[in-house]
Structure 1
Amino acid sequence: MINWNGVYPAITSKFTDNDELDIDVFSKNIYAQLEAGVDGIILGGSLGEASSLRDEEKILLLKETLLLVEGKVPVIMNIAEQTTQDAIDQAEKAQRHGAEGLMLLPPMRYKATDAETVKYFKDVAASTDLPIMIYNNPVDYKIMVTLDMFEALASSQNIVAVKDSTRDTTNVTRMINRFGDRYKILCGVDTLAAESLFLGADGWVAGLVCAFPRETVAIYRLVKAGRGQEAINIYRWFLPLLELDINPQLVQNIKLAEVYTGLGTENVRAPRLPLAGDERNRVIKIIEESLENRPQLPDYLNLESAAV
């Protein structure tokens, strides 16, 4: 059962020098996420280099993750396909192999109309028993899931959450004003997470959590416990790192940060290449300066949420 509250890492896929999945390094990162107190794991997102993963690799990552988490947190599979039938097929495979939820993007490559997008979501939802989080990211994927579209989707009972990457924090309030608690709202943009949580978002689908899991979870737990100033202090320290997530090279950026925190390698899958030159030096400077000033965290794992 997924409650869609908390921090959900969009986990990076790990590769060996020979371009195979690196399960050992992947496992180390998952254990760090669990120890930090994350509330779920999302596989096969854009940060997970989903478009470069073969179907059998996605299933392997799912199976390995289920073994690693041992039921402690739900495992969610991302679905990003070009056709409705392909999305239905991927949803069926994910459910059959043990995924507990889906994150669903609009059709890839084709810029569907509002009506086509709604039907796509509804058809996929009707094909599975799994709960679904709609990924609303018009900046990168060119399709905006509007409030009216969410109204049309409300009849699909297993469409229960939205990852809001609209870059518009007022969308959190608009969703709550229109739908109350019908949809769980999770921020999908690292640099707007604290703002979204203060406005009432239920969770955070995070990127830099892959390298800094404890700081990410601490911010979430402090906000929800009503200890806002402590959360803000950590967030201000974190912001230069979080800005690495809103960049075309977010995968390379975050994997480089994982190297510095001992939670990954720089290996990416072609056509991506590791960072080089001035840009690499710029990112390293941000990471090193942040590590030099890394904050002391309170005992955030034992916080209780403040009464609403």
Structure 2
Amino acid sequence: MNIQWNGVMPAVTTKFTDDNQLDLVNFEININAQLKAGVHGIILGGTLGEASTLTDVEKRLLIKKTVEIVKGKVPVIINIAEQTTTGAIEAAKKAKEDGATGLMMLPPMRYKADARETVTYFKKVANSTTLPIMIYNNPVDYGIEVTLDMFEELAACKNIEAVKESTRNLSNVTRMRTRFGDRYKILCGVDTLALESLLMGADGWVAGLVCAFPAETVTIYKLVKAGRIKEAIAIYSWFLPLLELDINTKLVQNIKLAEVATGIGTENVREPRLPLIGEERKRVLAIIENGLKSRPVLPKF
């Protein structure tokens, strides 16, 4: 399957049972809700997916289960966040074996590689696989920025096709377009900049709160692409307090609480994360409850 790298692609949460095992029942409920809303891809094993807590066996099981659920309707993309080049190459190999249709790649973990090292890392992994790749550019959270000059070098790898733009610098959408034209597809990776990025020409949205509100997220994207900007702004304005739950150290706990509220998830997280308690929990629940009370009626297309 070719990946168009556009539309709404949920960075889905990983569901856990009360005894800390993968909860594939609730996972399937959420994936089906995403598909019903019309998302354009499923991304596994990102920050929201609690990838750093997952075993290799669990990641492989999630890929296989997702492929089984989606039945070829949308691409299944797995995030690669490895400490070594060898480990990343092996992860890409296993992803293809398990049926993934694409990769999202972070720079090397833990070690802060320089530009030459980072480009070499991406190139070696890209050259080891036929799977299409989206570079995850998030220097705020992961400490390494993939600059325009680095993307210039990476353009030699034809299967590096897209970027998840999470620098928090909205003008990067324009910078990428000005320098590379349509060479790279651009997907916004920051929920609170999604509408702005789409209006500046981004191709899609790797979304977080979509995990709890898939229909609203997809509707915003569709309205923008249909030129119905005023309607998109109205829904986005309602959505913004909820979207801000994604721009937080405890985004996983926040979004899982929202999934519980909309009936398509559970609150269980894997330690060292712990469920929210006290005033922090009350604050997040209040935001979610206020959003549900004023949830907009979505236009039909």
Same-fold status (TM-score > 0.5): yes
Distance in 2 between the 1:78 and 1:95 partners?
12
Aligned residue number for residue 284 of structure 1:
285
Aligned residue number for residue 232 of structure 1:
233
SS at match of 2:77: strand
For residues 72-221 of structure 1, the aligned pairs below 5 Å read 72-221=73-222
SS at match of 1:118: helix
* Counterpart residue type for residue 89 of structure 1: E
Aligned residue number for residue 268 of structure 2:
267
For residues 285-300 of structure 1, the aligned pairs below 5 Å read 285-299=286-300
Distance in 1 between the 2:64 and 2:100 partners?
9
Aligned residue number for residue 28 of structure 1:
29
Distance in 2 between the 1:249 and 1:97 partners?
30
Distance in 1 between the 2:95 and 2:60 partners?
7
| CA deviation after TM superposition for structure 1 residue 187, in Å | 0.1
* Counterpart residue type for residue 253 of structure 1: N
Distance in 1 between the 2:291 and 2:81 partners?
34
| CA deviation after TM superposition for structure 1 residue 249, in Å | 0.1
Distance in 1 between the 2:58 and 2:143 partners?
27
Distance in 2 between the 1:149 and 1:220 partners?
29
* TM-superposition CA deviations, 1:179-222 (whole Å, max 9, x none): 00000000000000000000000000000000000000000010
| CA deviation after TM superposition for structure 1 residue 71, in Å | 0.6
| CA deviation after TM superposition for structure 1 residue 266, in Å | 0.5
SS at match of 1:29: helix
* Counterpart residue type for residue 141 of structure 1: Y
* Counterpart residue type for residue 252 of structure 1: Q
* TM-superposition CA deviations, 1:128-168 (whole Å, max 9, x none): 00000000000000101000000010000000000000001
Distance in 1 between the 2:124 and 2:8 partners?
28
SS at match of 1:205: strand
Which segments of 5 or more consecutive residues in structure 1 lack a partner in the other structure?
Answer: 303-308
Distance in 1 between the 2:61 and 2:19 partners?
17
Distance in 1 between the 2:114 and 2:122 partners?
12
Distance in 2 between the 1:21 and 1:298 partners?
36
Distance in 2 between the 1:40 and 1:255 partners?
20
| CA deviation after TM superposition for structure 1 residue 283, in Å | 0.2
Aligned residue number for residue 56 of structure 1:
57
* TM-superposition CA deviations, 1:26-73 (whole Å, max 9, x none): 000000000000000000001000000011111111111111101110
Distance in 1 between the 2:136 and 2:61 partners?
23
Where do 4+ consecutive residues of structure 1 move more than 6 Å? none
| CA deviation after TM superposition for structure 1 residue 25, in Å | 0.3
Aligned residue number for residue 45 of structure 2:
44
SS at match of 1:160: strand
Distance in 2 between the 1:246 and 1:45 partners?
15
Which segments of 5 or more consecutive residues in structure 2 lack a partner in the other structure?
Answer: none
Structure 2 residue 10 is the aligned partner of structure 1 residue 9: yes
Tell me the TM-score normalized by structure 1: 0.97
* TM-superposition CA deviations, 1:215-253 (whole Å, max 9, x none): 000000100110001000000000000000000000000
* TM-superposition CA deviations, 1:244-288 (whole Å, max 9, x none): 000000000000000000010100000100001111000000000
* Counterpart residue type for residue 60 of structure 1: L
